[in-house]
A and B are shown apart, each in its own frame.
Chain A
Amino acid sequence: MAEVGSKTTRLLLLGLLLAPALVWLVGVILLPHLDLALLSFRERIGPGEFSWSLAQYRTFFAEPLYWDVFVRTAVISVIATGLTLLIAFPIAWTIAKLTRGRVSALLFAVCLIPFWVSETVRTLGWMILLRETGVLPAVLVSLGITDTPVEMLYRDATILVGLVYTSLLFMVVPLYSSLESLDDSLIEAAYDLGGSGWTVLRTVVIPHAAPGITAGCIVVFMLTLGNYLTASLLGGKNSLWFTEQIYTQFITRFNWEQGAAFGFLLLALSSLMVWLGLRLSGQKFADVMSRT
Chain B
Amino acid sequence: MTAVDLEAKSLLKRFGSHVAVDSLSFAVTRGSFFSILGPSGCGKTTLLRMIAGFIGPDSGDIEIGGRSMQGVPPNRRPVNMVFQQLALFPMMSVGENVAYGLARRGVGRAEREAKVAAMLERVGLPGAAGKRTDELSGGQRQRVAIARSLVLEPTLLLLDEPLGALDLKLRERMKIELKQLQAAFGTTFVYITHDQSEALVLSDQVAVMNAGRFEQVGSPQALYYSPATPFVAGFVGANNRIEGRVSALHGALADVTTPEGWVVRAQIQAAPDGRRPSVGDAATAFVRPEVAVLGRTAADLDRPTIAPGDEAAPVHEGVVESLLFDGANSAVLLREARSRAEFRVALPQTGRYADLKVDERVLFTFAPERAVCFATGGGGTGGGHG
Contact = CB atoms under 8 A, between A and B. Distances in A.
Q: Is the interface of B mostly helix, strand, loop or mixed?
A: mixed
A289 interface: no
B148 interface: yes
Contact of A190 (B79, B89, B149): B89
Interface string B86-105: 01011110000000110011
A195 B101 CA distance: 7
A50 to B, nearest CB: 55
Nearest to A184: B87
Contact of A185 (B87, B104, B148): B87
Contacts of B148: 193
Given A185-B84, A199-B104, A193 B91 contact: no
A193 B75 CA distance: 6
B91 A192 contact: no
Contact of B74 (A183, A185, A192, A208): A192
Question: Interface SS of chain A: helix, strand, loop or mixed?
Answer: helix
B42 interface: no
A12 to B, nearest CB: 41
B52 interface: yes
Given A196-B75, A204-B89, A190 B83 contact: no
30 contacts: A183-B85, A183-B87, A185-B83, A185-B84, A185-B87, A188-B54, A188-B74, A188-B81, A188-B83, A189-B81, A189-B87, A189-B89, A190-B100, A191-B75, A192-B74, A192-B79, A192-B80, A193-B75, A193-B80, A193-B100, A193-B101, A193-B152, A194-B75, A194-B76, A194-B101, A195-B75, A195-B104, A196-B104, A203-B100, A204-B89
B87 A188 contact: yes
B298 to A, nearest CB: 60
A76 B282 CA distance: 82
A186 interface: yes
Given A191-B75, A192-B52, A194-B75, A186 B104 contact: no
A265 B91 CA distance: 37
A196 B75 CA distance: 7
Interface string B143-159: 00000110010000000
A192 B75 contact: yes
Contacts of A196: 75, 104
A86 to B, nearest CB: 22
Contacts of B149: 193
A54 B85 CA distance: 62
Interface in A244-277: none
A27 interface: no
B52 to A, nearest CB: 6
Contacts of B54: 188
Given A192-B74, A195-B100, 11 more contacts: A188-B54, A188-B81, A188-B83, A191-B73, A192-B52, A192-B75, A192-B79, A192-B80, A193-B100, A193-B152, A203-B100
B91 A208 contact: yes
A207 B152 CA distance: 24
B55 to A, nearest CB: 11
Interface of B: 52, 54, 73-76, 79-81, 83-85, 87, 89-92, 100-101, 104-105, 148-149, 152
B307 to A, nearest CB: 53
B64 to A, nearest CB: 13
Interface residues of A, number: 17
Given A204-B89, A204-B91, A207-B91, A189 B83 contact: yes
Contacts of B52: 192
Contacts of A189: 81, 83, 87, 89
A195 B76 CA distance: 9
Contacts of A183: 85, 87
- Most B Cβ at <10 Å: residue of A189, A190, A204, A207: A189
Nearest to A187: B87
B75 A185 contact: no
Closest 4 CB pairs of A and B: A194-B104, A193-B101, A189-B87, A185-B87
B165 to A, nearest CB: 12
A205 to B, nearest CB: 10
B375 to A, nearest CB: 44
A160 B92 CA distance: 37
A204 B104 CA distance: 13
Contacts of A208: 90-91
A274 B84 CA distance: 39
Contacts of B81: 188-189, 192
A196 B100 CA distance: 12
A196 B103 CA distance: 12
B75 A186 contact: no
A214 to B, nearest CB: 14
Nearest to A200: B75
Nearest to B158: A192
Given A204-B91, A208-B91, A194 B105 contact: yes
Contacts of A190: 89, 100
Nearest to A195: B104
A207 B96 CA distance: 14
A192 B80 CA distance: 6
A189 B92 CA distance: 13
Contacts of A195: 75, 100, 104
Contacts of B87: 183, 185-186, 188-189
Contacts of B85: 183, 185
**Residue in B73, B75, B81 whose Cβ sees the most chain A Cβ within 10 Å:** B75
Interface in A181-227: 183, 185-186, 188-196, 199, 203-204, 207-208
Counting chain B CB atoms within 10 Å of each CB, which of A183, A188, A192 scores highest? Answer: A192
